[in-house]
Structure 1
């Protein structure tokens, strides 16, 4: 028997340093009974919405890494999705939180690969 994605710790830390543009932190989730990390207010807001959704049974931040080779540059790429939520019916929902005007080509490719895999 395996471990559900929503029960794993984040695959990377949520660094905090002077002068950074975003605000990382921990959100206490009633759904999970533990802290869920976030790297921005937008991610925190998503966590709060998931926590209040009766159809969500669990969620985790940065639950896994995806690795692939970029076909145009032939370089290795990686991406850790912002969140994974589990619904009452057992299905999962992968969530990447980024304001639309902050999605550059590199991010769009990572989100597309994640969508295809999930």
Structure 2
């Protein structure tokens, strides 16, 4: 069995280039000149091996993506939070971490973004996750060049450089119930959404759904919040007084 390695850095030869691996770890390449040039870019495996360094914390692992029901690797807790947010906000049909090696015409710079995914609406989105306080000038340049490349080829680029604790806590709260096992049946879904339209806050919704089985409907409520069928402000602390807005 051949040893699995990352994509090796090579000169750009005067053009921005994308290299990626298919499901069998075969490397493919495409010039990033316009939307037509990247139509066949379909990364299925990471372009590089997990990073390792001295004093490394145990913050690497796999996130279970509810949209695709697949495992996605992350290399930091910020990446984990970003994956939760993407899974919650977008209708993802395909996703891979460390998806491709970008080689930029400028100074033959190389960059491996953190996440690439496609949405049900047909968007191709490339994501970088990097703390703004730790971003060097060289890294900022790579993010700028990545954004320029994405604009040229018709992709969307997102850079997450900070995650407020409140946003992370809210995502983790809902994320406990993002698995389909918590999805209510049609009758319970209609009941919950009907009551949600009648009340204004989470606490009022919980009280209105109260039964002789404490918390009976709460897993389904949080699942519907994760699905964005019931919405609230992710950036504010969650409590009984949190306003809710059924979609």
TM-score exceeds 0.5: yes
Note the aligned Cα RMSD (angstroms). 2.3
Structure 1 residue 87, shift from structure 2 partner: 2.0
TM-score (norm 1): 0.80
Bigger RCO (CA 8 Å, 6+ sep): 1
For 1:44 and 1:14, the matched residues in 2 are separated by: 14
Alignment equivalent of 2:83, drawn from 47, 51, 69? 47
Give the SS at the match of 2:71.
Answer: strand
1:58-93 superposed Cα distances (whole Å, 9 cap, x missing partner): 32211111012544xxxx321011111222211111
Asked if 2 retains the 8 angstrom alpha-carbon contact of 1:62 and 1:82, the reply is yes
Unaligned 5+ runs, structure 2: 1-38, 151-247
Aligned to 2:143: 111
Unaligned 5+ runs, structure 1: none
Query: How many residues of Structure 1 are paired with residues of Structure 2 in the alignment?
Result: 112
Aligned to 1:26: 62
Aligned to 1:59: 95
Pick closer, same or farther for the CA change 1:3–1:111 going to 2, 3 Å. Answer: closer
Aligned to 1:4: 42
Matching of residue 100 in structure 1 with residue 132 in structure 2: yes
Structure 1 residue 11, shift from structure 2 partner: 0.6
Give the SS at the match of 2:82.
Answer: helix
* Larger Rg computed on CA atoms: 2
Asked if 2 retains the 8 angstrom alpha-carbon contact of 1:50 and 1:85, the reply is no
For 1:104 and 1:91, the matched residues in 2 are separated by: 29
Hey, which of these two has a bigger chunk of strand by percent? 1
Hey, which of these two has a bigger chunk of helix by percent? 2
TM-score (norm 2): 0.41
For 1:16 and 1:68, the matched residues in 2 are separated by: 25
